[in-house]
Structure 1
Amino acid sequence: MFPALYLTRAESGATEAALRTLSPDDLPEGEVLVRVSHSTLNYKDALAITGKSPVVRSFPMVPGIDFAGTVERSADARFAPGDAVVLNGWGTGETRWGGLAGYATTRADWLVPLPAGMSAQQAMSIGTAGYTAMLCVMALEAHGMQPDAGPVLVTGANGGVGSIAIALLARLGYTVTASTGRPEETEHLHALGASAIIDRTALGSPGKPLQKENWAAAIDAVGSHTLANVLASTRYGGVVAACGLAQGMDLPASVAPFILRGVTLAGVDSVYAPLARRRIAWQRLAAELPAELIARNTRVVGLAEALALAPELLAGRVRGRVVVDVNR
């Protein structure tokens, strides 16, 4: 028997979340059975738990879009009992039971071997947010961005993606400006590597189609007016990697930054990214993100605490990463 966060749908249509005890027989079929050590509480998980957005496509559901643990049983020769693995995305926690439980079943194609020297807790301190941040950095690099090109803006700086993006960029030698709505976290953002801090209100309202050229590049996890203003204030030939929609899914922008300044908007998807790109991202995270920085940016909780924290995360009152020790 093992603990799990368990989501059901009430007759009213509302999502009901509870801590339940399950058995392996309750799990859906899968090529690989993983004994989960740690998962995380991501923005998408919080939406699923609270029912604030139709993230979950079928009920009942165990949420958790990522997890790290050890293989217990495998029908695929690529994995053997005892192998340490990590999983991100592929609809896990949305269409297929996820990682906020003691065990999970999954497809072998979706698993990535845990990099040597990285613990399960460290992997989930990075989690989908950090893995997405690395994909964003890789997108900037793929479009020719180098540290000497100029300052890079990171929006949603206190969130999971933003905080790790700052740390990665700073370690690579970029000058990073952090956009946040929580000025009280300035010291924390400087510790991550941000050189300057701006208030998110400067970007969050409707703005001009073209603005002063401030940023050589940007990583945006916010969307809506924020992304539109970031594009409008990106320098000639700059690159913006977009990976989130914390402010909204809309993009009230014009074509001006693209056709007058040659700005590139690079979309970053972490859910269905190819396996080869995932392996590179995780190997680079293991090599380029210091363990002490990971620990400083992390809060470890149990399943019951994760349930209570979901509304706080949606309200923007959670700093950095929330790791869930599923056995705590």
Structure 2
Amino acid sequence: MMNDNKTFKAFRVEEENEKFVSAIKEMPFETIEEGEVLIKVHYSSLNYKDALSASGNKGVTRNFPHTPGIDAVGVIFESKSEKFKVGEEVLVTSYDLGMNTNGGFAEYVKVPENWVVKRPKNLSMKQAMIFGTAGLTAGMSVLRLVETVKPEDGTIVVSGATGGVGSVSVQILNKLGYKVAAITGKEAEKPYLLDLGASEVILRKDFEALQKRPLLKPLFAGAIDTVGGVILENIIKSVNPLGVVTACGNAASIKLDLTVFPFILRGVSLIGIDSQNYPMSYREQVWSKLADAWKVEGLEANSTTIGFYELSEKLNLMLAGKLKGRTILKVV
């Protein structure tokens, strides 16, 4: 181990008397095996899966104690990989990081080489984490959407628009020349969403209250849905013929109550976005675009930076739906 320290700090979640508690703890270094790297973490970011893991959700993390953090960016500190050398700046997003493998809410993280991406040249470490898994998921969604739907085809609707995936999606689509309608449950955040580039803000309660019909009036050329449930149902029923809907979240519900009419009468396409195990070739393509053609203006203005001792509070706020934009953990 090329380190004078014997331990490092990590945000640990433990199960005590059927309750889950968190604290900053000193952790011992583990042996690096062949095909693995040890990353000295500079930044991580907060995602909904991190909040679930930190609350003891066994659907996300099976065994505790555990270190959440599905994103990390930093410098290779030790390597037993032919792909990466000590000193290279790299990032890791999703896969099993922070779920059942100790994650980025720590000063060091050990991961397999095939989870690692070199930091894009046009993104700083902090900017890479402002995107993080949320930005990567937004990028994947936009990538699949723009394959079929063009700006002249009409409005794109984005649900959960004040969240990480939603807010980045609004910004990217606006930069690419699309007219964007943003769905949110937070009426007070209308000015924020308009500043991000939305041309219209739709309140969630109004959109959920649409009539219970198999098909609704066509309103949108396409959609990026981040929440699922009734919102996704009504989006699908409101998309133009040959429109495309991407779906990446289930915070509202895992169920859909639909007929097949939107798909066979209007030819609507529903595309699932799996950011956890997305192929590396697509990841690299999306990261390249996020660092260049899709790099949004004022990226850091849409983020808040915190330290280790603010994690518990912010994760609880995220679970309650009270965070907007991106929250970044500064480790170094």
Query: What's the TM-score once normalised by structure 1's chain length?
Result: 0.95
1:298 and 2:321 correspond: no
Q: What residue in structure 2 maps to residue 19 of structure 1?
A: 24
Give the letter for the 1:320 counterpart.
G
Deviations 1:18-40 (A, max 9, x none): 21122324999971000000001
Deviation at 1:54, TM superposition (A): 2.8
Retained in 1: the 8 A contact 2:32–2:79?
no
Deviation at 1:118, TM superposition (A): 1.4
Q: What residue in structure 1 maps to residue 3 of structure 2?
A: none
The equivalent position to 1:147 in structure 2, one of 148, 151, 159, is 151
SS for the counterpart of 1:287 is: coil
Deviations 1:298-319 (A, max 9, x none): 0000111111111111111101
1:262 and 2:283 correspond: no
Q: What residue in structure 1 maps to residue 236 of structure 2?
A: 231
Q: How does 1:119-134 map to 2 (within 5 A)?
A: 119-134=124-139
Deviations 1:47-103 (A, max 9, x none): 111225631122221100111111011111110011111111111111111101000
The equivalent position to 2:11 in structure 1, one of 1, 5, 17, is 5
Partner Cα separation in structure 2 for residue 232 and residue 130 of structure 1: 27
The equivalent position to 1:40 in structure 2, one of 28, 45, 49, is 45
Deviations 1:82-132 (A, max 9, x none): 111111111111111110100000000000110003111111111110110
Deviation at 1:202, TM superposition (A): 2.2
Partner Cα separation in structure 2 for residue 306 and residue 250 of structure 1: 31
1:87 and 2:78 correspond: no
Deviation at 1:41, TM superposition (A): 0.9
Deviation at 1:2, TM superposition (A): 2.2
Retained in 2: the 8 A contact 1:65–1:99?
yes
Retained in 1: the 8 A contact 2:34–2:81?
no
Q: What residue in structure 2 maps to residue 185 of structure 1?
A: 189
Partner Cα separation in structure 2 for residue 66 and residue 260 of structure 1: 41
Deviation at 1:257, TM superposition (A): 0.4
SS for the counterpart of 1:288 is: coil
Q: How does 1:154-193 map to 2 (within 5 A)?
A: 154-193=158-197
Q: Point out 4+ residue stretches in structure 1 off by more than 6 angstroms.
A: 26-30
Give the letter for the 2:77 counterpart.
E
Change in 2 beyond 3 A, CA 1:27/1:224: farther
The aligned length equals 325
Partner Cα separation in structure 2 for residue 251 and residue 319 of structure 1: 26
Deviations 1:173-211 (A, max 9, x none): 100000011121111111111011110112335732200
The equivalent position to 1:198 in structure 2, one of 198, 202, 217, is 202
Q: What residue in structure 1 maps to residue 219 of structure 2?
A: 214
Query: What's the TM-score once normalised by structure 2's chain length?
Result: 0.94
Retained in 1: the 8 A contact 2:35–2:81?
no
1:315 and 2:285 correspond: no
Partner Cα separation in structure 1 for residue 265 and residue 26 of structure 2: 58
SS for the counterpart of 2:291 is: helix
State the superposition RMSD in angstroms: 1.7
Give the letter for the 2:186 counterpart.
R
